[in-house]
Structure 1
Amino acid sequence: MSVMANAVRTALFGAVVSLVSFGASAADYTLSVNTALSQQDPLYKGLEEFKANVEKRSAGKMAVRLFPASQLGKDEDLLEQARAGAPVAVVVDGGRLAVFVKEFGVLGAPYVAQGYGGIRKVVTSPMFEEWVQKLRKASGHQVLSFNWWQGERHMLTNKPVKVPADLNGVRVRTPGAPVWMETIRAMGATATPLPWSEVYTAMQQQVIDGAEAQDPAIYGSRLYEVAKYLTKTGHINLITGIVTSAAWFDSLPKDMQTLLREESLKAGDSASKATEASLADFEKQMTEKGMQVVDIDVTPFREATASVYEKLGYGELHKQVDALLKQ
């Protein structure tokens, strides 16, 4: 790492420590959790449950502070602070962790598993725990749990979409991780990375022609106001996790380490089930607000994106995941 990069990282570390320390409780340990989610999102309700259960079970020795709407900064910035040992955590997808341990990227690959039940089987397996240990060594991050399901991601456009050819020339916002970018390209669109907070304005000003996201995020960001069609492609099964600093985690007493991982898993299950239960209502409300929610045959999209695995070097890992899902 260069001297300049070290200086920037140190400065950012200091800024975040100042932010998360301000107003900290009298607890022995404090963890600040940052998320891009809004407070209305079912997953955020799960974070509130995580906070309450950790604080209760630890008898007040551990405090959890929640920062919705990315109040502490971008996911990538928080991951850097965690690497530096700051007592912070971020709700993040596998694509952003794949830069450290490649295997995490397969979690965001197209049609890798069906629904929460399918993807949960992967992220609670011994195979996944091996990835967790590799991540600790590679980047200094600790996964608390990775069973925070946000739903399947669908296509948002202002023109009807039934087959990949309908997306030719359509600029679609997606996160910048390679597996997401390649998936959108394989679906026929022009992948355009942008921060989530800029999607509404970019759609409104026609900087982009479309986006892709899961129902709770679409509703929470009011994208039904700037997109006419929600086409249910279900191309990415969005599973996320709470990721913190391995150095900070290792500094905790063993009982606190166990408590954090167990309560994260429990709250993740609760939040994910709440997400499952909310999807139909989100779609109903968006329909009432004028958006057309369209079911299609996803077979052409599944076939078009099958090449993503080999292209990114996930062919063999895809076979292992398939074998796990069939057990």
Structure 2
Amino acid sequence: MNLFNKGIKLTLAAIAVSSFIAGCGGEEAKEAAPAASASQNTAAPAPAAEPIVLKFGYENNPGEPFDEGAKKWQELLNERSKGTMKIELYPSSQLGSKTDIIDSMILGEDVATLADGAFYADRGVADFGIIFGPFLFDSWDEAFKLNNSQWFKDEEKLLNEKGIKIAAANWKYGDRHTLTTKPVRSIEDLHGLKIRVATSEIFSEGMRVLGATPTPMPLGDVYTALQQHTIDGVENPIPVLYNGKFYEVAKYLLLDAHIKNITNIIVGTKFFNKLTPEQQTMLLETCQEAGEYQNSVVDKVEKELLEKMKAEGVEVIEPSEEFKADLKKASLEFYTLPLTKTWTPNLYETVKANCK
């Protein structure tokens, strides 16, 4: 074979080998291509859902037992939900009055506040109003028994129909006493005194039957009203009276305990119903637990603050047995007032039976 023919054969052989290698490489490329494509088309992880945020507004000031309970609820719900449910706190009426907040929750806003039977009566569940009648309970045990009774559960269902959901009914707000600019040592001393009450007919009429002149106004306006002698006094539990600094302008504290106040934490049914069953359970259980914590704070702080008020020059007046009897006797008129005509017949007797 001459060199020319030999060269041609070698060249053809080289081309054949190259084609084979290229063919194999092409198959590898074809096989690798889907993997590369799959990698490029992998979807990015979906962004985490925004947490549910509930705005909790109340008149109480920072540092009060109620505020401490609110912080505990905030902590418990955040922890239990792993950050998917959060509570923002708005003390000192930052979200407006209680009435404003209740209006907002009924319309569907994600807000919460504290409320009670007097406000429920104003919202159309009339029988609930009796809970804030003066001297209805003889002990805290009676008050808690009523809140755990079937009667209370039945009334709660009616409240749901009005757009309000009770998240917890176990927050002890405290005995409501009367702080005044003049000493009150008998029922006659109460007569004519202008006493600030919450903006509810129940509170107004409850104070009126005791002989005072009820003056409804937001709690945030009370200090100035006392200072300017627009009112002669204010009624509330000791922690509220102390933290509002009302003792600076009113120096007489009557320990009448005219209402044993268990408050409720409420949200709108529109807000509650859009939660999943699991979220609803977390909301209710953590609110109940926070209430138990808050109650322990109330019991401890009331004694401490009473001593502080004394140190600030407040005269603490323990009503005599005769004075107590006069107050209880006068309070019975409340349960026969025109506003009670909307109540279920024999409601007073029914409630008293559910307390025992």
TM-score grouping bracket, smaller chain normalisation = 0.7 to 0.9
2:327 aligned residue: 301
Alpha-carbon displacement from aligned partner over 1:29-71 (angstroms, at most 9, x marks no partner): 1111111111111111111111111111111111111111111
What is the distance in 2 between the residues matched to 1:325 and 1:113?
Answer: 8
What is the distance in 2 between the residues matched to 1:276 and 1:118?
Answer: 17
The Cα of 1:316 is off from its aligned counterpart by 2.0
The Cα of 1:131 is off from its aligned counterpart by 1.4
- Answer yes or no: is the 8 Å Cα contact 1:27–1:60 preserved in 2: no
Alpha-carbon displacement from aligned partner over 1:293-320 (angstroms, at most 9, x marks no partner): 1111322111111110121325722212
What is the distance in 1 between the residues matched to 2:82 and 2:148?
Answer: 28
1:107 aligned residue: 131
What is the distance in 2 between the residues matched to 1:178 and 1:127?
Answer: 22
1:204 aligned residue: 227
Q: Aligned pairs, how many?
A: 301
**From 51, 55, 60, the counterpart of 1:28:** 51
The Cα of 1:104 is off from its aligned counterpart by 2.0
- The 5-angstrom pairing of residues 222-233 of structure 1 reads 222-233=245-256
- Answer yes or no: is the 8 Å Cα contact 1:168–1:189 preserved in 2: yes
1:93 aligned residue: 116
The Cα of 1:230 is off from its aligned counterpart by 0.1
Q: What code does the residue aligned with 2:53 have?
A: T
Deviates most, 248-257 or 271-280: 271-280
Q: Percent identity?
A: 31
2:294 aligned residue: 271
The Cα of 1:26 is off from its aligned counterpart by 6.5
- Answer yes or no: is the 8 Å Cα contact 1:55–1:63 preserved in 2: yes
The Cα of 1:85 is off from its aligned counterpart by 0.7
- Answer yes or no: is the 8 Å Cα contact 1:164–1:304 preserved in 2: no
TM value normalised by structure 2? 0.81
- Answer yes or no: is the 8 Å Cα contact 1:27–1:62 preserved in 2: no
Answering whether residue 342 of structure 2 is matched by residue 319 of structure 1, we say no
What is the distance in 2 between the residues matched to 1:205 and 1:159?
Answer: 14
Q: What code does the residue aligned with 2:334 have?
A: V
SS at match of 1:98: helix
Structure 2, unmatched stretches of 5+, are 1-47
**From 142, 145, 160, the counterpart of 1:118:** 142
- Answer yes or no: is the 8 Å Cα contact 1:115–1:151 preserved in 2: no
What is the distance in 1 between the residues matched to 2:287 and 2:293?
Answer: 10
- Answer yes or no: is the 8 Å Cα contact 2:135–2:258 preserved in 1: yes
- Answer yes or no: is the 8 Å Cα contact 1:111–1:235 preserved in 2: yes
Answering whether residue 285 of structure 2 is matched by residue 285 of structure 1, we say no
The Cα of 1:216 is off from its aligned counterpart by 0.3
Alpha-carbon displacement from aligned partner over 1:136-158 (angstroms, at most 9, x marks no partner): 11x21111012212111111122
What is the distance in 1 between the residues matched to 2:299 and 2:97?
Answer: 26
Alpha-carbon displacement from aligned partner over 1:72-104 (angstroms, at most 9, x marks no partner): 111111111101111111112321121121122
Deviates most, 260-269 or 280-289: 260-269
2:184 aligned residue: 161
SS at match of 2:137: coil
What is the distance in 1 between the residues matched to 2:82 and 2:178?
Answer: 45
Residues 26/218 of structure 1: CA separation in 2 closer, same or farther (3 Å cut): farther
SS at match of 2:346: helix
What is the distance in 2 between the residues matched to 1:33 and 1:44?
Answer: 10
What is the distance in 1 between the residues matched to 2:136 and 2:292?
Answer: 19
- The 5-angstrom pairing of residues 43-58 of structure 1 reads 43-58=66-81
SS at match of 1:306: helix
The Cα of 1:117 is off from its aligned counterpart by 3.1
- Answer yes or no: is the 8 Å Cα contact 2:56–2:90 preserved in 1: yes
- The 5-angstrom pairing of residues 135-174 of structure 1 reads 135-137=159-161, 139-174=162-197
